[in-house]
Amino acid sequence: MLMFEMPNDKNLPHAPMLGDHLAMDLLNTQARSGDKVVEYWNSDADVLRWLRQSGISPAVEQSTLTDGELLSQAKTLRTLAHQLITGFKQEKLQEISELNTYLHSYVSAPHLAPDSDGRLVITRLSCSDTAASMLGQVAEAVAQLLVEGDATLVKQCEHPDCILWFYDRTKAHKRRWCSMATCGNRYKAAQFRKRNSD
């Protein structure tokens, strides 16, 4: 039996939370730095930390999961989400039975608690310690995107060295970058240097 400890956030890189949708943030648990893929999930603790960072409180106190099981399930869900979301953008219906496995495993209960501003909010807490149930809210976010989302607003950063995804909630729907502060400015600076070197 594996006893999960809530991970220590100090000195650990965080996956970027720039997607404006939980399903996009799931895809962004892999990024790119130069020509190398950056993997933010390397242990069960990394996945738990990401879930907590996403506002999800899985049942982790007395988990019966084996070491690495949550990590494996999370990466499988991420791969599945990538396939489904890519198909959604291309308006191609994908096989959804595997996503339903996660959804059917998600046993939850309502939970009332104050948010960061002190206002009461109702959230859902996982009531099961299976890996699929612990990831149930994430799977539900993918399902909700496929049902309620607008495929034209599901985008990838236009910077050639970036693979991050986002849901474009801007008023004009003209968002191009995962973050203007990083990729947008880097791209503009590179274009400026290119123009001035000619």
- Considering its fold, how many domains does the chain have in total? 1
Domain with 93 in it: what CATH number? 1.10.3300.10
Q: List the beta bridge partners of residue 121.
A: 113
Polymer length in residues for the chain: 198
Indicate the pTM of the whole model.
0.83
Reported as a single tens digit per residue, the pLDDT across 76-93 is 999 999 999 999 999 998
How far apart CA 154 and CA 87 sit, in angstroms, is: 11
Residue 38 is part of which domain span?
A: 22-103+130-197
| Nearest CA among 182, 189, 174, 191 for reference residue 18 | 182
Q: Quick one: tokens of 36?
A: 């190398």
Reported as a single tens digit per residue, the pLDDT across 152-173 is 999 999 888 888 999 999 999 9
How far apart CA 77 and CA 150 sit, in angstroms, is: 21
Neighbours of 1 (CB within 10 A): 7
Q: Quick one: tokens of 83?
A: 């396939």
